[in-house]
Amino acid sequence: MEIVICPDRDKGAAIAADIVARYLDRLQQPILGLATGSTPKPLYHLLAERHHRGELSFRRCITFNLDEYVGLTPTHPQSYRYYMQQHLFDRVDIDPNKTHVPDGLPADPAVLRETCRDYEAKIAALGGIHLQLLGIGANGHIGFNEPMSSLASRTGIRTLSRQTITDNARFFQRSEDVPRYAISMGIGTILAAEHCLLLAFGDRKARAVAAAIEGPLTARCPASALQMHPYATLILDEAAASDLQCRPEYDWAAANALGTPGTNNF
Ligand code: GLP
């Protein structure tokens, strides 16, 4: 794992934007895995700004989002499709047909299972994801793979944990409107990406970050599965890094790295 600790989230987002830009510039058909939540917002903002300045194009790029709620229309302000349109897709030159967010409708298990199979098949047919962006839940979840999800899981229907439902309640007017289910790439799907780039900012993430990096490899902390990934970069701010025990090791490795952040897979 490459651990990059930044003074604040703006610096972290800028480093992440450089990494994404490298893939967009270098590859003929870059395939990006995208995440939602508050964490990647400053990154998407920087990418949109760079596009606006004519420095970055998404024209050749194909995207697959990690997850989507079951039961929300794409125009629902809390849907992840809506989030992506607002924060990135409508602000850059990406071909809308090349953006993929799992479809959480209709809320019929048979149809959703088919959607999940198709999603996996589409990613595989394109040769897999080059760069997968990730956030982390305060309980260590990645995508909507809650604690105790199989570390080998593929895209499927997920039952949200009580904690996640409670956390999300603030975004909905009535508690009965809070989605109970989601479609999510599995941990196995995430681990199949060539490069995983996890961002974590703020002290609310400190415990989960420490468990993911320094704890045992365990389904209790789904993000700890990244310990098995050959090329995972974790960008943290000081607050998210505050529970790490081996900080001097990360600082030493960063100070002595041969490459720029995001290129040092060890
Ligand atoms: C949701 C998403 C995750 C995201 C997490 C953290 O549960 N499904 O992909 O990483 O929230 O969100 P935030 O970045 O807002 O802390």
Question: How far is ligand 1, taken at its centre, from the CA of residue 139, in Å?
Answer: 10
How high is the pLDDT of residue 175? Answer: 84
Q: Which atom of ligand 1 is nearest to the CA of 36?
A: 9
pLDDT in tens, the chain (266 residues): 999 999 999 999 999 999 999 999 999 999 999 999 999 999 999 999 999 999 999 999 999 999 999 999 999 999 999 999 999 999 999 999 999 999 999 999 999 999 999 999 999 999 999 999 999 999 999 999 999 999 999 999 999 999 889 888 999 998 888 999 999 999 999 999 999 999 999 999 999 999 999 999 999 999 999 999 999 999 999 999 999 999 999 999 999 998 899 988 76
Q: Say what the pTM is.
A: 0.96
Q: Please tell me which residue in 2, 67, 68, 237 is annotated as part of the active site.
A: 67
Q: 2, 65, 68, 139: which is the annotated catalytic residue? A: 139
Ligand 1 centroid to Cα of residue 108, in Å, is 24
d(CA 72, ligand 1 centre) in Å = 17
Measured from the Cα of 144, ligand 1's closest atom is: 8
Q: Is 65 a catalytic residue?
A: no
Closest ligand 1 atom, residue 38 Cα: 15
Supply the pLDDT for residue 266: 63
- Per residue, what are the HEC states of the chain? CEEEEECCHHHHHHHHHHHHHHHHHHCCCCEEEECCCCCCHHHHHHHHHHHHCCCCCCCCCEEEECEEECCCCCCCCCCHHHHHHHHCHHHCCCCHHHEECCCCCCCCHHHHHHHHHHHHHHHHHCCCCCEEEECCCCCCCECCECCCCCCCCCCEEEECCHHHHHHHHHHCCCHHHCCCEEEECCHHHHHCCCEEEEEECCHHHHHHHHHHHHCCCCCCCHHHHHHHCCCEEEEEECCCCCCCCCHHHHHHHHHCCCCCCCCCCC
Which residue out of 100, 130, 141, 195 is catalytically annotated?
141
Supply the pLDDT for residue 243.
Answer: 98
Pocket of ligand 1 (CB under 6 A): 35-39, 66-67, 135-137, 143-144, 164
Q: State the distance from the centre of ligand 1 to the C-alpha of 258, rounded, in angstroms.
A: 32
Catalytic site residue from 146, 195, 237, 264: 146
55 is catalytic: no
Task: Give catalytic status of residue 97 as yes or no.
Answer: no
Cβ–Cβ contacts within 10 Å for residue 129, how many? 24
Give yes or no: 67 in active site.
Answer: yes
